[in-house]
Amino acid sequence: DGTKLVTGGIFAMGSDGVNDEESPRHRVALRPFCMDTYEVTVKRYAACVDKGACTPAHPDKTWCNASQKGKDDHPVNCVDWKQASELCAFEGKRLPSEREWEYAARGGAEQRPYAWGAEPPDGRSCYSHPGTCVVGSYPAGAFGLHDITGNV
């Protein structure tokens, strides 16, 4: 379903006291940017591999979706940053920055605990499901984005 425009704004990135990688919490300003409405599926990633623009997902784990039958509509996993960047370049896009991803996942300046709000994740994401779920199985959260919290 393409991409969604994420309005820019100012938000408090990170958290205090959770872990050193997220501290200290600090204010960040972002310009508007676009993000894919849905996660990249195994099928979508395979199309990039078939064209020679992407390298195959790492099949070294039994839980890697690309090495399992019936997972074409599940999110691709077992890819590294370089492989994700290859897909983005193939599609004329780029990976979001850490700031952009956190802003989108938290509803921008709303600072939601989860993309959909403050309610617990059960029934709202693929949070406690064994493995992954079909992309878009749950309603969109902030900015109309699906699965930004709780699938891969």
pLDDT one-digit tens code per residue, 42-73: 999 999 999 999 999 997 777 899 999 999 99
Residues 88, 91, 96, CA angle at the centre, nearest 5°? 35
Min mean pLDDT across 13-22, 41-50, 104-113 is at 13-22
Closest CA to 151 of 24, 32, 131: 131
Amino acid at 61: K
User: Which residues are 29's β-sheet partners?
Assistant: 10
pLDDT tens for each residue of 109-132: 888 888 888 898 888 899 888 889
Instruction: Determine the Cα–Cα distance for residues 52 and 37; give it in Å rounded to an integer.
Output: 25
